[in-house]
Amino acid sequence: MKKLLTAALLALLASPISGFAQGALKIGTVDMNRAFKEYNKTKDAETRINEAKTAAKKEYDDRAESYKKALDEINKLNQQLEAPALSADAKSAKAKERDEKIASIKSMEREINEFRQTRERQLQEQALRMREGIVKEITDIVIDRVKANNLDLVFDKSGNSLNGVPLLMYSRDTVEFTNDIVTALNKPGRAADAPAAASPAASASSTPAKPTKP
């Protein structure tokens, strides 16, 4: 999440170079990562994505439980087929029943794997839409402040370089306006307040394991 936020303001509005020579640059800094985390819509979206992940996991677990029961039935049939007292006709019938269940469970396994992959992709896409939408809202608020205060440059103080070193090593407190951004974002009745796409706060940690093959 932080990687997306780091890049969000790399090229935020700068006055033409010719204007810089006319006086001191007016510079501001904002912590995009903090603004993202403290935006109420982000918190609401994270709750919704967690609920969606929980629902997907439950549906997966239900399918996996049905798979396990079918696998147990196959194992029982294999044990019965090994019984020496079993007649040839009974053995043939049970072998046919086992083979049918094996074909059915292989189809079930494919369906379970497709379900898992589809849900993972849907959650990832939902998470990406949420991030893009909220980052755009935050950036729009920042740009409004840039215009209102006639700033020449704005830096995202939460961003790091490729070496892991903060891009902004130091700035005066007087140029930092994250509090203003957070306040503006969470202002009641703000026009941009609308249901956000669900967030990926939780990663694929809740993705269930693949069932064991028969």
pLDDT digits 0-9 by tens, 68-127:
999 999 999 988 888 888 888 888 898 999 999 999 999 999 999 999 999 999 999 998
Report d(CA 194, CA 185) in Å as an integer: 12
List beta partners, residue 156.
Answer: 30
Secondary structure of residue 118 in the 3-state scheme: helix
pLDDT of residue 89: 87
pLDDT digits 0-9 by tens, 181-214:
999 999 988 755 544 444 333 333 344 444 444 4
Local confidence band at 4 (pLDDT 50, 70, 90 cut-offs): very low
State the Rg of the chain over Cα.
28
Record the pTM.
Answer: 0.63
Q: State the virtual CA torsion across 203, 130, 186, 44 in degrees, nearest 10.
A: -50
pLDDT digits 0-9 by tens, 150-184:
999 898 888 777 787 877 777 777 788 999 999 99
7-10: long-range contacts at Cβ-Cβ below 8 A with a sequence spacing of 24 or more? Answer: 7/159, 8/32, 8/135, 8/138, 8/139, 8/156, 9/139, 9/142, 9/154, 9/155, 9/156, 9/159, 10/156, 10/159
pLDDT digits 0-9 by tens, 14-31:
334 344 444 588 889 999
Residue 83, both tokens: 């019984």
pLDDT digits 0-9 by tens, 52-71:
999 999 999 999 999 999 99
- Answer whether residue 8 shows pLDDT above 90: no
pLDDT of residue 38: 94
